[in-house]
Amino acid sequence: MKISDTAFSHGFCLRKNFFHFIIPAVLLFWMAGCSKEEPPRNLKELISEALAGSVKADSIKANVLWLESMGTRFSLADNRRQVAVAIRNRFIRMGYSETRLDSFMINVTYRQVSYSLWQYNVIATLEGLVQDDTASIIGAHHDNILSSSSGDPFIKAYGANDNASGVATVLEVARVMKKNNYIPKSRILFITYAAEELGLKGSYAHSASAAEQNLKLRCMLNNDMVAFCPFTDKQNWIVNIIDYDNSHELRLGAETLAKKYTCLKFINDNKYQKQSDSYPYSLKGYQALFFIGQAPDPNYHTLYDVSAACNFDFCAEVVKLNCAILVEKN
């Protein structure tokens, strides 16, 4: 689905009014009349279309540039708490009142030196209609690292595609949901993870505490390296949707939504299945997916991983896909 900018600018006011006034009325009717039923199918379609219509490649680009401008986001660097606080403040500025730093300790050896350091995941919550023990997660790691031949990550590690793109995806989903006054059935947790590059530390910590608290998840969506796509021809805009033994159905549903709401093509190549933050959730029995651009990124873990090498229109399509899945699962 792709509407022209002109068509969209004409339709937006109507759609915005519709969304602000009519949809809450429909929701109230649905809640009063048949609270155990699914909302009508076309309501989810309207919501997904409105969210997709609000996604802006420029807004994603601005967030990637901002993350890149921090110089380094290496998780052993002194600014690691500052990075997390800055991301939390971004959620607060969008209107998210429930945000927190989720701290945990790591013990690692890096280039022959041992470190015991506090780390900080960032968690922002969009409250649901029902406040129960169920949630959905959209996440991405906010740290970066350099290969040993590429330099010293304590000084510089820009990580635009890896993984400012994932963080910007999470922020953009949060922005368009807030802007459209979207209320999910149960709460959505927007999480950016610390210390992924040192062994998925942030997602191991959060998935363990989620399982301990018997949190039920409708889905966990992980975005890692979702802005590298060197092709102008959209026929070659391919996202790899990685799944796990328990999430094949979730992936098939995601593929249907990708056809409906995005111009993305997709593949399912699970070779990186264990190499990002969705994996610890799958180990805890949660249904998780991992989105990554299909084209191999030649700038991976080098100082050339900068926003100039990113394709933000491609990333915007990945944002639309995340939105549609979260709406579908709620």
For Zn ion, the closer of residues 49 and 224 by Cβ is 224
Is 162 a binder of Zn ion (CB under 5 A)? yes
For Zn ion, the closer of residues 54 and 192 by Cβ is 192
CB 234 within 8 A of CB 260: no
For Zn ion, the closer of residues 180 and 278 by Cβ is 278
Q: Out of 49, 68, 172, 224, which residue is the one contacting Zn ion (CB under 5 A)?
A: 224
| Shortest Å, Cβ 193 to Zn ion | 10
Contacts with Zn ion: how many residues (CB under 5 A)? 3
Name every residue whose Cβ is closer than 8 Å to that of residue 55 and which is 6 or more positions away in sequence: 172, 176, 316, 319, 320, 323
The span of 57-65, 69-77, 156-164, 230-238 binding Zn ion (CB under 5 A) equals: 156-164
Nearest CA among 44, 102, 95, 31 for reference residue 325:
44
The span of 42-50, 120-128, 163-171, 285-293 binding Zn ion (CB under 5 A) equals: 163-171
Residue 23: C-alpha distances to residues 15, 32, 163, 291 (Å): 10, 14, 35, 30
Name every residue whose Cβ is closer than 8 Å to that of residue 80 and which is 6 or more positions away in sequence: 73, 74, 117, 119, 120, 143, 194
User: Which residues in 204-222 are b (16+ Cβ under 10 Å) and which e?
Assistant: bbbbeebbeeebebbbbbb
Is 305 a binder of Zn ion (CB under 5 A)? no
For Zn ion, the closer of residues 47 and 157 by Cβ is 157
The span of 76-84, 85-93, 169-177, 218-226 binding Zn ion (CB under 5 A) equals: 218-226
| Shortest Å, Cβ 292 to Zn ion | 9
Side-chain-side CA neighbours of 19 within 13 Å: the count stands at 24
Residue 76: C-alpha distances to residues 22, 79, 278, 302 (Å): 49, 8, 22, 17
For Zn ion, the closer of residues 180 and 302 by Cβ is 302
For Zn ion, the closer of residues 145 and 254 by Cβ is 145
Q: Out of 163, 165, 186, 299, which residue is the one contacting Zn ion (CB under 5 A)?
A: 163
- Residues in the site for Zn ion, rule: CB under 5 A? 162-163, 224
